[in-house]
Structure 1
Amino acid sequence: MPVWLMLVLVGLGLPRTVLADLDIVAPESSLLYYVLALTPFAVWVLVAIVRRSRRPFADFLVVGVLYGLSLVVVHQVLWGVGPSLGHQPPESAVDFANQFSPAWRGLALRGFTSGIAVVIGVGAGLAAAVIAAAAHGGRASRARRAAS
């Protein structure tokens, strides 16, 4: 998959991340939020099904990793801005960070939220990778049947 296409697929998810981090569009609050949240992944699935690739699984796994890293960057850049993630971290991240001394708590909180972001990205990429590999296998199977 060309780098430009990977970056476009990753970039599709950034508006929701930025708007949610800045509390402009609250998570799970409106139709707009769901459009911003689900459209990028619908496009990923569409590209996974339609686009021919020699390495469909690897392509979307890389897209997922890049998406996870983009989440980390956005969350960290906007950490202290307004009502962002730094002011409203997930409860699980706070629980994790509270296991550390005050000197390490902030780093633990940021590390935990970064880990969550990477797991979300890799998970989304893995799901799209499975779909892309299945579509690739289906096309190859049809081509073999047509050739025989």
Structure 2
Amino acid sequence: MSAPSVAIVSENRTVDRNSVHTRRLGLSPSAVWGLAALGVPRVVAHDLDLVGPELNTVLVFAPPLVWLVVVLARRVPSPLATLSVIGLAYGVLLAVTHQLLWSHAFDGDAPTLGGNFAGTLSPVWEQVVVRGFACVSSLVTGLAVGAVTGVVAWALSSVRSRTRG
């Protein structure tokens, strides 16, 4: 199912917003979100402690490897930008999934502030802070995974360009 197409009318011409993103990234918004969603099973498996370390390793590395293959096969204009956007989308999905599974993941023993901050906030505000940091951490993690994968894709596409041309 593709994202709804939104048209922008400017200077007597109509521009499809999806086609603008597709030209810039080399992938449609639905493809970006679809690729990002490949990482969600690992988040669920990790938060609910469903798999052992071997399968978890596969779930960690398989999605970025698929991202890399798709981006190289599609010959996107900027692998680093495209994979960074996919990584950021993955970070959003990571944050949302962690928040949805929070009580199951911590089984009633959610993390709290420690050190000088221990006991300084009400339990509600403490959870707001801890969950907020978890969201930021998820976004940074997703962006980092996308950027590192993007650097690898950029290097591989540069080598491919040099060997062919």
Q: TM-score range by the shorter chain?
A: 0.7 to 0.9
Partner Cα separation in structure 2 for residue 100 and residue 12 of structure 1:
39
Residue ranges of structure 2 left out of the alignment (5+ in a row): 1-26
Task: Say yes or no: does 1:122 pair with 2:143.
Answer: yes
1:12 equivalent to 2:31? Answer no
Percent identity, aligned pairs only, is 31
Find the counterpart in structure 1 of residue 66 from structure 2: 43
C-alpha contact 1:48 1:135 (8 A) present in aligned 2: no
Partners of 1:127 and 1:99 lie apart in 2 by: 38
Please state which structure has a larger fraction of its residues in strand: 2
Q: 2: CA distance between counterparts of 1:101 and 1:24? A: 33
Question: Equivalent of 1:77, from 87, 96, 100?
Answer: 100
Alpha-carbon distance in 2 for matches of 1:131, 1:88: 39
| TM-score, length-scaled by structure 2 | 0.70
| Cα RMSD, aligned residues only | 2.5
Contact 1:48 1:131 in 2 (8 A): no
Q: Which runs of 5+ in 1 are unaligned?
A: none
Q: CA deviation at 1:13?
A: 0.7
Shift of 1:33: 1.9
How many angstroms does 1:60 deviate by? 0.6
Structure showing greater radius of gyration is 2
Range that drifts further, 37-46 or 109-118: 37-46
- Normalised by the size of structure 1, how large is the TM-score? 0.77
Asked if the contact 2:64–2:146 (Cα under 8 Å) also holds between the matched residues in 1, the reply is: no
Runs of 4+ in 1 over 6 A off after TM superposition: none
Aligned partner of 2:19 in structure 1 is none
Instruction: Give the Cα separation in 2 of the matches to 1:56 and 1:138.
Output: 13
Aligned residues: 137
Matches of 1:99 and 1:112, distance apart in 2: 17
Which residue does 2:20 correspond to in 1?
none
CA distance in 2, matches of 1:51, 1:89: 43
